[in-house]
A and B are shown apart, each in its own frame.
Chain A
Amino acid sequence: MALDLEKMTIASARAALAGGEISARELTEAYLTKAKAVNDNLHCYLELFADCLDQADEMDRSGVARSDKPLAGIPLAVKDNILIKGRQASAGSRMLANYQAPYEATVITKLKEAGAIFVGRTNMDEFAMGSSTETSAFGPTRNPHDQSRVPGGSSGGSAAAVAAGAALAALGSDTGGSIRQPAGFCGVVGLKPTYGAVSRYGLMAMASSLDQIGPISQTVLDAEVIFRTMVGRDDLDSTTADYPSPAKKTGRTIGIPEGFLAAGLDPAVNDNFRQTVKDLTAAGCDIREIELPHIKYALASYYIIMPAEVSSNLARFDGVKYGLKVDGDNLLADYLKTRQAGFGTEVRRRILLGTYVLSAGYYDAYYAKAAGVRGLIRRDYEEAFASGIDAVLTPTAPTPAFPLGEKTADPLQMYLEDIFTVPANLAGLPAMAVPSGKTEAGLPLSVQFIAPHFREDTLFDLGRLVEDITANQEKK
């Protein structure tokens, strides 16, 4: 049968597999074929795993494909910074161009147990540092909706693969928006779970107080299925928690931080956002204007805390234990040459910035201050939620997908892309990007919901509502 891969969802694929209408082999082969066909232009995959067809065959033979496992026979793509034992994992960096994962990330173990098949590893900004996938050492990914434009980043390869029908869903990682912003640019769903909800064991650390792994998918329901498979405490990641069952039902009181949205929104983003708010009101949501007095400082706080953690985490790349080694005259020269040659410009920029803000004379002025502001931001959200708000709504990004090269010369312009996404990371809150329409030129637009800790259920409920609204508008 002919498969419409751009419309297929995990739910529809599972139904077809369980009913025996298609085999896991046919499904996986269809995605591999599609991935090969689009990859020359999009460059969303760094590598396709041809041997995944053997896994699909085995699932057909053993009957797993027809079982009730939530992801049985489902072809997924994985961001290149999440380890699959025995596979290469480069984090989009020359430093790890030939690195083979010696162990398995917990999320991969869990997804495999649920029956998922991994079709390839996706392109990303180097070590997840970027908002356009242009800092990848292996060349940029392009947006399937307009190939002259970026897919967003850093999980741009994953978002582009899902949007192009080259994977049924994908994993990304999100430190300051790296799942949600590319999902927004590519017109798919992206979820950053609550800090501590999903194990990071086997994720290459960028900024450990901010990083989370999450799904990128066609629908909110698909994101929910993957999230529920990955969630929970892991002895191998001591920052994980037992996922609590919600104390109360989900509500639909939505807060909008108007003061924060006032400046710098692209007109198309603004119009779409206003329309979405109107439609949510019509659908019965209680919309309230709220104040989050400190989120205007979130980006500044983030661009101190994140590089500080980056400079510490990336100290491990020394040419000794694994990864690239460039030979010098002595051990120190080995370090200097290896790290200069292995890291790209953006990574070096952030390491230097982190080294600066942590240095003795500046620590209080920068790092300690940023940590304090982070506390104020967290308190702002707590107070908003305590006042009866179930979720905060903003656009996902201030602009639609921008042309390749437009922001590469000015790092600050690139950083501003993260303005709406970083607050959730700083506060450890769950947040989800949901497609909300398109520009006249056909570029995807997206809104973001932010919920209290461990209230992903609220995100799924409101996300489905926006999905319905968007589907109705496309019919008009």
Chain B
Amino acid sequence: MISKEDIKQLAALARMELPDDEAVKLGGDLENILAYVSELEKVAVPDDLDLSTAPRTNVWREDGAPHPAGRYSADLLKAAPATENNFIKVKKILTNGS
């Protein structure tokens, strides 16, 4: 049973501000989906099974000349919701005395 509080906790972990009515609705959905996927309990997975999904090859890249500093900055900053003096602007996370 997934309680409304459990869902609110998951939402907090996923950084979403879920209203109560939606938490109840999504809690029900999640229970149904988890009930469906629980059929996997029936499957025995051998310990030595190869779990790679594609032929495994390590991909190396030579260290080369990096692009000039700032080459993409203007394009990327243009996409940011708030900027100041060539920086992305965010609210402060530390406050005095707390």
Q: Name which residue of chain A comes closest to B60, CB basis.
A: A238
Tell me the complex Cα distance, A239–B34, Å: 30
Chain B residues near A337 (CB-CB < 8 A): 17
Tell me the complex Cα distance, A69–B2, Å: 57
- Interface pair A303/B33, CB less than 8 Å apart: yes
- Interface pair B17/A300, CB less than 8 Å apart: no
Q: Given known contacts A373-B43, A375-B50, is B88 in contact with A320 (CB within 8 Å)? A: yes
Q: Given known contacts A372-B51, A375-B51, is B33 in contact with A297 (CB within 8 Å)? A: no
Contact pattern, B 19-60, Cβ under 8 Å of A = 1, otherwise 0:
000100010011011101111110101000111111101010
Q: Given known contacts A352-B10, A369-B45, A411-B33, is B18 in contact with A340 (CB within 8 Å)? A: yes
Q: B1 at interface (Cβ–Cβ under 8 A)?
A: no
Chain B residues near A323 (CB-CB < 8 A): 79, 81
Q: A428 at interface (Cβ–Cβ under 8 A)?
A: yes
CB-contacts of A321-377 with B (<8 A)? 321-325, 330-337, 339-340, 343, 345, 348-349, 351-353, 355-356, 359, 365-366, 369-376
- Interface pair A340/B59, CB less than 8 Å apart: no
Q: How many A-B residue pairs have CB under 8 A?
A: 158
Chain B residues near A369 (CB-CB < 8 A): 40-41, 43, 45
Q: Given known contacts A331-B93, A374-B53, is B45 in contact with A352 (CB within 8 Å)? A: no
- Interface pair B59/A349, CB less than 8 Å apart: no
Tell me the complex Cα distance, A321–B79, Å: 7
CB-contacts of B59-98 with A (<8 A)? 59, 61, 72, 75-76, 78-82, 88, 90-93
- Interface pair A376/B18, CB less than 8 Å apart: no
Chain B residues near A376 (CB-CB < 8 A): 43, 45, 49
Chain B residues near A348 (CB-CB < 8 A): 11, 16, 18, 22, 26
Q: Given known contacts A301-B40, A320-B90, A352-B11, is B80 in contact with A340 (CB within 8 Å)? A: no
Q: Name which residue of chain A comes closest to B47, CB basis.
A: A372
Tell me the complex Cα distance, A90–B14, Å: 21
Q: Given known contacts A241-B57, A321-B80, A426-B53, is B17 in contact with A349 (CB within 8 Å)? A: no
CB-contacts of A192-227 with B (<8 A)? 195-196, 209
Q: B96 to nearest A CB, angstroms?
A: 14
Q: Given known contacts A322-B79, A325-B81, is B91 in contact with A330 (CB within 8 Å)? A: yes
Chain A residues near B45 (CB-CB < 8 A): 369, 372-373, 375-376
Chain A residues near B22 (CB-CB < 8 A): 345, 348
Contact of A102 among B49, B55, B61, B78 (CB under 8 A): B78
Q: A235 at interface (Cβ–Cβ under 8 A)?
A: yes
Tell me the complex Cα distance, A371–B50, Å: 10
- Interface pair A412/B32, CB less than 8 Å apart: yes
8 nearest A-B pairs in the assembled complex, by CB-CB distance: A372-B45, A325-B81, A322-B79, A336-B17, A238-B59, A102-B75, A300-B37, A335-B15
State the B residues within 8 Å of A (CB).
Answer: 2, 7, 10-18, 22, 26, 29-30, 32-34, 36-41, 43, 45, 49-55, 57, 59, 61, 72, 75-76, 78-82, 88, 90-93
- Contacts A238-B61, A366-B37 supplied; 5 other A-B pairs, CB < 8 Å: A331-B91, A331-B92, A352-B16, A369-B43, A415-B33
State the A residues within 8 Å of B (CB).
Answer: 99-100, 102-103, 195-196, 209, 235, 238-239, 241, 294, 297, 300-301, 303-304, 311, 315, 318-325, 330-337, 339-340, 343, 345, 348-349, 351-353, 355-356, 359, 365-366, 369-376, 378-379, 411-412, 415, 426-428, 453
